[in-house]
Amino acid sequence: MNHLKRIPLRNMLPVAFGLLVAQSAAAIGGAVMETESTHKTVTVAEAEKAVVAGKIVGQSAPVADATVYAYEVASYSLKKVLTDGYGRFLLGSLPAGMYKIIAYKEGFAPTIELLLRRRQQDRQYLEIEMHEEKVGDIRQGEDFWSVRSRVPADVLRDIQHSWTSTDDEIGTGTRIAGLTHFGGQMLAQSGVEQLGGAFGEAQMTGAEFDLQGAVGQLQVDINGQYKLLASDGSSNLGQIPDAEVAAVSVAIENDQESKLSLASSNGQLTRFRDNDMTSIDMEHYRLQWSRKAGAHGTSDVTAQYTEEANYHNTGMADPIAIPDSSRTWNLQGAYTGALTDRTSLQAGVTYQQRIGRGLLGPAFGGEQLQNDPLSNETIGIYGLADSQIVPRVVVEYGLYSSVRDGSLSLMPHGGLVLDMGSKWKARTSFARRVDERAPDEPYRGFSTALYSDKTTCRKAGEACYEVFFSRGEGTGDDSISVGAVHREFAETLQLYFSPDFFDRLESLFVVEGDELPELQFSMVRRIAPKILAKLESNIAAGGGGIFYATDERPYENQIRYLVTSLDTHFQQTSTGVFVAFHHLEQELNPVSDRPSSATSEREMQRLQLMLTQDLNVLADFASNWAVRFNVELSRGATPYTLATDDELRKKLTGGISVSF
């Protein structure tokens, strides 16, 4: 190990970035590496004959001896060439596909460009501009962590971070067998949150970590989170018990051949409901194993277990399909791969068993409310494929089928992707469920999902239709996507708008018969040479489904939501600004003519502003240090009470993170 030594931070970026690209090809099974390590002069005739050629220019002159990497994001094939004295390079004939073109030279900020090749014989010419780094300030361009975020995830898993000498016996990009080392990020934060009403304030403390590295030939990824919310004792109703959540996951990968991951999380929370203290608990465990299957396929096996009590109840007139407590097993086996050069396939088998307890009322055949189990067992089989009919047209087709407690559901799926030129694509798809329901099956089931989950139609949908127009791939500096989705639901589904355990009340439920049209918009734009912004917005309004609630009354459901976020990165100063706004509404209109019937409404609003600042722009630390400051203003339900008055509550948190 005498050949290893610690080098200054300003020299770490070139070394780490060289390791990033060159080691990726060696680490990924089946990757092909072509290297031209000698200086080669590119003639005009060669440039004219080349299928893919280009030029690297600086701010004032061409960049000679720059390394240009091209890797295809689907097949992981990688090619490496050098520019000549005039900054010119030849990549030759590259097969059709989507490529990441990376230009790198010590003293310059790495630059990444997307290249779409529709045909292998297409001639394409690239001119890439690189920006010089100022001495002692590696944050003038995109820093190492920003560059990493734009490299495909399957490549990132094999990246190794280490300080290595530039001696001749170990050149940049050389993989050191048997080396054990880790890099990652750690975050510590604390703050205060107003609980609303007479409940005073709570102190919040938390920590997160993410470690990645290698142990011999194994790639290891470990991450975890812990958060504690403790009342300060100022409540007029007495001290409220603490709430906490903890999660940890470990992933181990062996040279891209196989990967094993284990994850667990648990959370506890106590709130008032009907003037009583109610305990909310959630435990979740997941085991996932994936392995290469053949030359172009991957097989995955996943097992999940979830146990909860009072987590999904919102406290309104809940649908009787939502259990008060449940235990759920989920098993899934899937295969993804390419059948031919033009056809890919995804197929799988799923099994779910939910054992829950709740209230079943008149709509389910009972004369009065009674304690009955809300349990079901579902076996599903699905297959999805896409085929390229002509170079500009891809056809999608497939079928979801499930059997549950004597009922059979079939959901055919079809779609079309059209390449419209100038990097624009149009996509449309449809799916509609056909049920053969058993006459004595009163319970249709219950499931949960994040509002952005693409599988909600498969879980609870009656029909789904969508139309999208997009430009770019969503990972570059200039991409846009706009579209509409229309969903009809066949069973009760709880939609969550935050993965945070403490934000469980930031949710809405849909029921059988609901229709929910939604508009979606996203855009990534470099609005200035050193300013990159990402805007996302989803708006939906619908409902119309009629359900029986736990108060033995029928209601008509109406829901609306608006979720918008703007994430801006100022690369000149390594400053991040994130702004998000959530507006959720649920309205339950009683169908009964009884005078006592009244509309039940719930409305939640949350405005978030988060600032992050990289401290290495101010000084050359041994590691990458950053600070984070978060402010949230909210109205509506809290974790402790369902009071929905207009009281404005504040949440202030701050933290510091280090990347190493």
Q: 240-292 pLDDT, tens per residue?
A: 657 899 999 999 988 667 889 999 999 988 776 656 677 889 999 999 999 98
Edge-to-edge strand list for the sheet holding 67-72? 33-35, 78-82, 67-72, 97-104, 111-117
3-state SS, residue 445 = coil
Q: How confident is the model at residue 537 (pLDDT cuts 50, 70, 90)?
A: very high
CB-CB neighbours of 419 under 10 Å: 17
Average pLDDT estimate for 492-507: 88
Please, which pLDDT band fits residue 182 given cuts at 50, 70 and 90?
low
**What is the SS3 assignment for 457?**
helix
User: What is the mean predicted confidence (pLDDT) over 540-565?
Assistant: 91
- For residue 142, the model assigns a pLDDT of 43
Query: Would you say residue 366 has pLDDT above 80?
Result: no
Residue with tokens 């579902």: 378
Interval 440-465 mean pLDDT = 83
Q: Give the phi and the psi of residue 76 in degrees, each rounded to 5.
A: 65, 15
Quote the pLDDT of residue 397.
Answer: 94
Q: Which CATH architecture has domain 181-659?
A: Beta Barrel (2.40)
Predicted confidence (pLDDT) at residue 118 exceeds the cutoff of 70: yes
- State the pTM of this model: 0.71
Q: Any idea which of 93-97, 273-277, 642-646 has the lowest mean pLDDT?
A: 642-646
Nearest to 464 by CA among 487, 434, 495: 487
- pLDDT, position 261: 94
229 Cβ partners below 8 Å, 6+ apart?
Answer: 193, 202, 203, 204, 242, 243, 244, 502, 639
Task: Work out the average pLDDT over 354-364.
Answer: 66
Evaluate whether 126 touches 94 at the Cβ level (below 8 Å).
no
Percent of the chain scoring above 90 in pLDDT: 32
The C-alpha atoms of residue 179 and residue 214 are separated, in whole angstroms, by 7
Of 630, 631, 620, 530, nearest in space to 575 by CA: 530
166 has pLDDT over 80: no
pLDDT of residue 234: 60
Predicted local confidence at residue 623, as pLDDT: 66
**Average pLDDT over the chain, rounded to whole?**
77
pLDDT of residue 241: 58
Tokens in use for 305? 């277990």
Burial class for 391, CB neighbours closer than 10 Å (0-12, 13-18, 19+): exposed
Tokens 């990402």 — which residue?
Answer: 534
Beta bridge partners of 555: 547, 590
Residues of the chain with CATH 2.40.170.20: 181-659
pLDDT of residue 265: 95
Q: What is the pLDDT of residue 162?
A: 29
State yes or no: pLDDT of 155 exceeds 80.
no
Average of pLDDT values for 161-176?
A: 30
Check residue 485 and give its pLDDT. 96
Alpha-carbon distance of 655 to 204, in angstroms, equals 11
| pLDDT of 338 higher than 50 | yes
Reported as a single tens digit per residue, the pLDDT across 424-442 is 999 999 999 988 765 556 6
How far apart CA 342 and CA 335 sit, in angstroms, is: 17
The correct CATH number of 9-156 out of 2.60.120.700, 2.60.40.1120, 3.40.50.300, 3.20.19.10 is 2.60.40.1120
* pLDDT attached to residue 426: 95
Segment 164-190 mean pLDDT: 50
Q: What is the pLDDT of residue 321?
A: 85
Q: What's the rounded mean pLDDT across residues 310-337?
A: 87
Going by their DSSP bridges, the two strands 52-57 and 88-92 should be labelled as antiparallel
Task: Give the model's pLDDT for residue 282.
Answer: 94
Query: Residue for token digits 């009342």?
Result: 231
What's the Cα-to-Cα distance from 246 to each of 190, 254, 359, 500, rounded to whole Å? 15, 28, 31, 11
Tell me: pLDDT of 294 over 70: yes
Res 200: pLDDT: 72
Most confidently modeled of 16-25, 90-99, 159-168, 410-419? 410-419
Residue 155 burial (10 A CB sphere; 0-12, 13-18, 19+): buried
Range(s) of the chain covered by CATH 2.60.40.1120: 9-156
Average pLDDT over residues 445-457: 86
Q: Could you give the CA distance from residue 155 to residue 31 in angstroms, rounded to a whole number?
A: 11
**CA dist., res. 568 & res. 534, Å (int):** 6
Q: What percent of the chain has pLDDT over 70?
A: 73
Most confident of 49-58, 163-172, 266-275, 565-574: 565-574
- Region 374-394: what's the mean pLDDT? 89
Task: Summarize the confidence of residues 141-164 as an average pLDDT.
Answer: 42
Q: What is the pLDDT of residue 574?
A: 83
Confidence of residue 559 (pLDDT cuts 50, 70, 90): very high
Confidence of residue 396 (pLDDT cuts 50, 70, 90): very high
